[in-house]
Amino acid sequence: MLDYFLTREQKIIVEVARQIGEDYIKPYAHEWDEKEEFDWRPIRAMAKADLFGIFIPKEYGGLGFGTFENCLAVETLSKYCAGVTTTFAASGLGAYPILIAGNKEQKAKYLPEIAAGRKLCAFALTEPQAGSDAASIKTTAQKDGDYYILNGIKQWITNGGIADIYIVIALTDPKKGARGASAFIVHKNDPGFAIGQKEKKMGLRASVTTELFFSNCRLPKDRLLGREGMGFIIAMRTLDLSRPGVGAQAVGLGQGALEMALHHTRRRIQFGQPVFNFQAVSHTLAEMAAKLEAARALVYSVARYIDSGAKSISGPSAMAKYLASETTMWITERAVQMMGGFGYMREFLVEKMMRDAKCLQIYEGTNEIQKNVIARELAKLDQEG
C-alpha cells in the first residue's frame, strides 16, 4: 500500500478501527453472516472509541474531522466485515441531513447523542415504487396546525428498528413532485410509526434492513429539517457526502479479499509448488493490487476534495462510489476463483466478501445511477466550455 501521508490523528483513527476489527469483529464475522445476526458489541466499541463522532463538529460533541477521516474508519472496519460497517456508515448517512439542514436547536438536540453513539440513525428515502427514481416517492406529510401527519411506506432501510433517529423524506406538496418533498426527523417511539420485518439478504447480513410504516404518524412541526420543499435537495446533498464512504467500504473489503487470496495461494501446494508461483495466479493478484490502489487513491482524493470545501462534489463522489465498488466486485470474484474450492466454501470468508461486495454496486444509488450523475456533470462541463 502507498504512503498517503496521514496525520498523527488520522493514523490513530485507523489504528483504533483496526483494533476494534481485530477484537470485536474478526472472531464473530463468520457467525453473524451465517446466522444473519446483528450484534451490538462492535457498535458499542465504536461508540466508546468516539468513531460515531468523527465528522460531527466539536461544538456538538464530535471529533470535528471530515469525510476523509470517516472514510479511513469505514475502510479499516470493512476489511473485517462490510456488514458490521454498514450499520456504522448508515448511521453517518442519517446524521448528514441534520448537519446539512438542521437548525441550532436540532443540531444541539441530536448531534451530541449521535456523536456519542448513544443513538443510531437511519436514512429513509427509498419506497417500494421509488428506488433509483427517488423523486417518485409517495409518502406524504400533511400539515395539521402545529403538526405534520406522515403516511406511507419506506423500504430497505438500513438500521430499521435498531436506530432511534430516522430521517424521512416525505411529500408536503404531492403536486410538486421532487420540489414538494421535505425532510423530517422521526423518533423510534413516535405514535403511528412501526418497523417492518427484517429482510433476508444475499450479503451484509450482520446489518439490519427493514421496511418502515407510517400510519397517521403525528410529528410536531419542529421535526421539519430546513424548509418545506427542500427534502429532495437535502437527500441528494446527503448522498453526495456519503457515497465516498461506500467507496471506502469497497476498498476495505477489497483489501480483505486480496489479503485472503494472497495468504491462501502462497500456501496451497499443487503440482509440487505454491499455486502463487503460477503466473495465472500471481498476475491476477498483481492486477487486484494495482486496481485496488487506484480505487483507494480516487476515494482518498475525492474525500479530501470534499473536505476542502469544494462545491461541485456530485460527480467526483459518484465516481468514487462507482469505481471502487466495481473494482471490489471484480476483486472478490477473482479471489474466490484463485482460492478454488476453498473460495467457494462458506467456511472461508471470501465468498461472503463476494456477496457483500454485490450490495455496494447497488445501495446508496445503483452504479447505473452513479454513471447518470457523472454523465450529467460531464455534459455541464461541455456546456460551460
Between 49 and 178, name the residue whose CB sits nearer to ligand COS: 178
Q: Which is nearer to ligand COS, 17 or 360 (CB)?
A: 360
| 134 binding ligand COS? (CB under 6 A) | yes
Instruction: List the beta strands (DSSP E) in the chain.
Output: 121-124, 140-144, 147-158, 165-171, 181-187, 193-198, 209-220, 224-225, 269-270, 273-274
Which C-beta is closer to ligand COS: that of 37 or that of 133? 133
Q: Write down the least CB distance from residue 144 to ligand COS, Å.
A: 26
For ligand COS, what does the binding mask look like between residues 224 and 243, x meaning CB under 6 A? --------xx--xx-xx---
Q: CB nearest ligand COS: which residue?
A: 365
Half-sphere exposure of 17 (CA within 13 A, CB side): 28
Cα separation, 71 vs 359, whole angstroms: 18
Q: Are 176 and 229 in contact (CB under 8 A)?
A: yes
Residue 22: all three cell numbers together: 481485530
**Cα 385–chain centre separation:** 34
Going 204 to 208 to 213 to 219, the CA torsion angle's sign is negative
Task: Report helix, strand or coil for 242.
Answer: helix
- Written as one letter, the residue type at 290 is A
Q: Are strands 121-124 and 165-171 parallel, antiparallel or unpaired?
A: parallel
Q: Is the dihedral of CA 51, 52, 54, 59 positive or negative?
A: negative
- Map residues 179-218 to x or -, x wherever contact with ligand COS holds by CB under 6 A: x---------------------------------------
At what angle are helices 231-265 and 82-101 packed, to 10 degrees? 160
141 or 339: CB nearest ligand COS: 141
Tell me the closest approach of the beta carbon of residue 159 to ligand COS, in angstroms.
11
Rg (the chain; Cα; Å): 21
Nearer to ligand COS, 237 or 264 (CB): 237
Least spacing, CB of residue 323 vs ligand COS, in Å: 16
Binding track, positions 114-133, relative to ligand COS; x by CB under 6 A: ---------x-xx-----x-
- Among all chains, which residue has been given the C-alpha cell 417518485? 136
Check if 364 is active-site.
yes
Binding track over 310-349 against ligand COS, x by CB under 6 A: ----x-----------------------------------
C-beta neighbour count of 275 within 10 angstroms: 19
d(C-alpha 305, C-alpha 54), whole Å:
17
The one catalytic residue in 127, 326, 333, 364 is 364
d(CA 250, CA 357): 7
Residues 360-379 close enough to bind ligand COS by CB under 6 A: 363-365, 369, 372-373
Considering only residues 152-171, where is the footprint of ligand COS by CB under 6 A? Answer: none
Task: Give min distance, CB of 85 to ligand COS, in A.
Answer: 15
Q: Based on CB atoms, which residue is closest to ligand COS, 14 or 233? A: 233
CB of 284 to ligand COS, least distance (A): 32
What is the C-alpha separation between 192 and 212, in angstroms, rounded?
A: 11
Which residues contact ligand COS by CB under 6 A? Answer: 123, 125-126, 132, 134-135, 178-179, 232-233, 236-237, 239-240, 314, 363-365, 369, 372-373
User: Which residues carry out catalysis?
Assistant: 364
